[in-house]
Amino acid sequence: MCTRVLWNTNDLAVLTGRTMDWPESTQPLIVGFPRGRERNGISPAGPVDDPNPLRWTSRYASLVTTIYGVGTVDGLNEAGLAGHGLYLEATDYGARDDSRPAVQAGLWLQYLLDQAATVAEALALMEDVELLKIRVRGRDANIHVALEDVGGDSAIIEFADGRAVVHHGMQYTLMTNDPTYDEQLKSLAAQDFSHPSREIPLPGNVNAVDRFQRAAYYSALLPKPTTERQAIASVMAIMRNVSVPFGAPYAEFGVYNTEYRTVTDLTNRMYFFELTTSPSIIWAEFDRLHLDEATGPVSVDPYDDSLVGDVTDRFAPVTLAF
């Protein structure tokens, strides 16, 4: 069901980790999109007809992980904004207002990465846009989004009763799934993980509330890094801790196993990806990607067993529907 952890208090870099938890493969591709790409906010949602789709041309290049070929669920842009879409059953986008342009949920995050340089800019963009729920492979795309920028700012955006509920500030570093973020914060307030020790009892289940609190504990436990490598390893360690074992039986436990983990380094514009069924972490350097409007997007498939380490030079042109 996914977890996001932001580390914006160390002296080296603004870092974010996330897990992707789902009962089947999301068919991820790691894609570099050049700026200048024209998009329709409804396609490729499948059999969806809308009278007023949002249309835009991307201002910023981005490096993202896609989901089922219908949208973006994780990534960063060249301006220093990153975002992560996680599942939230309680999501309610509300009734469609045809007078306002709409973007389907799978392209929500891509729209923000295309058009915003900061968290504040992304929040401003949301004021004039409708979110449209789609159904993919038999499941509703009920998502909430976490955003952060290179300055360390952060925001959590959820939709309840048809309106956006926003938690904006550097202190909002964690996100999992249901219940809503307000309720997660209330549950966390009942614990004190600000001074972690080995005597503190730690929630150990795989449900969203326990993962939220466990992420809070380990985030407070992070040592001051002296190298970027140490910082990346620290965040990845938390993401592994809150992961669900691959192949966990959903029918018995009501949870989804972790398909992959990512760590985003906004300061150095690096993107790290760990597929749970692969022995190797791979990564890409944004600044070395050859992103050109004329040649279009480029990608690597993380299920390619030949990939290991720095894969920046392995990106190749790809045709996508969005």
- Strand 174-175 with 258-265, pairing: unpaired
Q: Could you tell me the pTM of the whole model?
A: 0.95
Average pLDDT over residues 65-89: 96
- In 3D space, the residue among 138, 111, 121, 122 whose CA is nearest the CA of residue 39 turns out to be 111
Residue pLDDT, tens place only, 275-322: 999 989 999 999 999 999 888 999 999 999 999 999 999 999 999 989
Cβ neighbors of 82 (< 8 A, separation 6 or more) are 16, 75, 76, 113, 147, 148, 149, 264, 266
Contact 131/103 with Cβ under 8 angstroms? yes
Tell me phi and psi for residue 176, to 5 degrees: -130, -115
State the angle between helix axes of 228-241 and 208-221 in degrees (0 to 180), rounded to the nearest 10: 150
**Average pLDDT of the chain?**
93
Structure tokens given for 171 = 């202190």
Residue pLDDT, tens place only, 242-269: 999 887 766 566 678 999 999 999 999 9
All structural domains of the chain: 3-178+244-317 (3.60.60.10)
For residue 41, pLDDT over 70 is answered with yes
